Amino acid sequence: MSQYISLALVISFSMFTTCTFVFFISGAYLLFFKIDQTNRLFKHPYLREQAYSKYPFSIRMKIILDYFLRLMFPNRKIGLAGQANQLLRHVDIDDIPWNIKWPIVGLWSASALGMVAMLVLWTLVLTGAAK
């Protein structure tokens, strides 16, 4: 059984490392080069109140999360994705260019998948250490 645990450790660590790189590359590209164009295309209602740069970091990430949820779950009516779809119902996701979509999807997908990989990694480490 230990050979399976060591193989699973390698796979989960590789997945976690890959997700970390994708998260940082997507986030840096989005926040340094594409955030203004992204905000112009999506026209989030929060941005009517004040500029994106004046919001705290947590609200900025919530705005980008709304963009992600609108792109990935455009037909959801309930939950967090439903709220994002209601806020961004004026956005036609087919009109959003690919160079705007990939950093948003990469940032949040890598974050979610990386958390799962990290949980698996720690579970394997703790179960392997117990034996």
Domain-by-domain residue ranges, the chain? 2-130
Asked whether the predicted pLDDT for residue 131 surpasses 90, the reply is: no
Q: From CA 85, how far away is CA 74, in angstroms rounded?
A: 6
Q: What is the DSSP letter of 49?
A: T
The pLDDT of 48-56, averaged and rounded, is 95
Cβ atoms within 10 Å, residue 109:
17
CA-based end-to-end distance of the chain: 10
Asked whether the predicted pLDDT for residue 90 surpasses 70, the reply is: yes
Tokens of 80: 């967090």
Task: Give 6's pLDDT tier (boundaries 50, 70, 90).
Answer: confident
CB 123 within 8 A of CB 13: no
Asked whether the predicted pLDDT for residue 2 surpasses 80, the reply is: no
What 3-state class would DSSP assign to 95?
helix
